[in-house]
Amino acid sequence: MFDSAANALKYIADHDIAMVDLKVAGIAGQWLHITIPARNFSQKHFDEGVGYDGSSGAGFGKVESGDVVAMPEPDTAFIDPFWEHPTISFLCGTATADSKQPFAADPRTIARRAVEYMRSTGIADQAWMGPEFEFHVFDHLEVSNEPYFSCVRISSSEVDSDGTTTVIPQKRGYMRVPPAEHLHDLRSEICLALEGMSIPVRYHHHEVGAPGQCEIEIDLDTLVRVADRTMLIKYVVKNLAHRHGKLATFMPKPVFGEAGNGMHVHQKLERAGKPLFYDQSEKNYANLSDTALHYVAGLLRHGAALTGLTNPSTNSFKRLVEGYEAPVNLFFSLANRSAAIRVPRYAVSPTDKRIEYRPPDFTGNIYLTLAAMLMAGLDGVDNQLFTGAHGFGPFDVNLSQQDDAFKSRIAPLPRTLYDAMNALQADQAFLLKGEVFPSEFLNAWIALKRVDETEAIATRPHPFEYHLYLDT
């Protein structure tokens, strides 16, 4: 929004801004914020940052050395529409409290280092990415995890008719129209809010999931900027849903038997303004360049390890099952939604030619997810990996309909979070290049996921277990 701190401060003074909100990205992928009265906000805050405890909410500082500072960036400013008093928000990088150097474990810093590493290789100077936003909007959700009472009760008017409209059948929600679908106006309001924040929206529609599943697509943008926009889009979706008395969630698999929420990420590389993924000679599959095929091979070669960052929740692997257009095996194909990588059939021009990596979901930290995918793709280009040599296809078939002999030729994605963390532990050298991901950070991430989530879920009785075993 602003090209300098001075212009940002002038805007604050000229537009009667009451509060300045500073937002930082925590390790888990959520925003944290601290608010300063506008009358106290000055150049000093841009130069020196605002101190906070990185070991508490953000999760990436040690208790004994938790002091870090949030460094507001003028070009990330936006008017926050969800506060009663006029508020301007700035996204912040996190720096060390003493030297003001970028904090090594800050997710935005890691994403920036990935881009810097890409440029240092000479392979490309821009990575363009575009997540698809799938989410559910529920009318009400009740959760209880007490020792003597556990339940999840979800209410959705789209599958529980009030007698004036038909319900949407299971997995039959794709592009439904009113009156059966109830969320068109909310999605339009979300998209208009995003457009007002200079985030171009391609379209929105009801997704496959009957109980309030939605999708919004945006244009591709450069890696760090699209990660920032992803954080803002989730913020707008959740807050506008709340304003309408509903709950929005990006949880990968909130409803058993229904389609889950993925985060398919379109991506392409560019150097000196020239697209690198298109080959007009037609010698390669789907007009993909050698660079694109190497990039695809890198993503698939490291696909198991990537799930440790792109799908870092136990719930992620309840989505990655056959029968719901979610990938379960590491191969690529043209327009094939059972593939881990789909080459969009409609992206035919040199500038549009791209690939879509389909396993990720929104439980991952978007900065880490995009950085890790870029590093995997670059490793494929750097090592001249070939898809055919590793059994990655292309396979233009619905894999769920193939026999076991065919399936056995294709590497599977991990089936559990524990397996994903083991894969990340064993295959992380590609992430360490250029010191993009600190090894200490990855080890701490793996330990956290194993103990705080995998073991926590493994030791809790599940309601369905009572159905299976109560009469034992």
Active-site residue numbers? 53, 132, 134, 207, 215, 264, 337, 356, 358
Nearest Cα residue to 23 out of 82, 71, 62: 71
SS3 63: helix
| Whole-number Å distance between alpha carbons of 294 and 278 | 13
Q: Pairing between strand 19-25 and 87-96?
A: parallel
DSSP string, 277-301: SB-TT--SGGGB-HHHHHHHHHHHH
| Whole-number Å distance between alpha carbons of 135 and 186 | 13
Cβ contacts of residue 280 below 8 Å, gap of 6+? Answer: 287, 350
Rounded to whole angstroms, what are the CA distances from 407 to 127, 144, 400, 411? 32, 40, 8, 8
CA angle 388, 391, 396 (to 5 degrees): 80
Helices (H), 125-274: 184-196, 223-243
Cβ contacts of residue 155 below 8 Å, gap of 6+? Answer: 138, 139, 140, 141
Residue 323 tokens read as: 């029968």
DSSP string, 317-377: HHHSSTTTT---B--EEES-TTSSEEE-TT--STTT--EEE-S--TTS-HHHHHHHHHHHH
Rounded to whole angstroms, what are the CA distances from 465 to 314, 321, 403, 472? 17, 20, 31, 11
Nearest Cα residue to 378 out of 295, 440, 270: 295
Residue 109 tokens read as: 């810093």
β-sheet bridge partners, residue 137? 248
| Whole-number Å distance between alpha carbons of 153 and 138 | 11
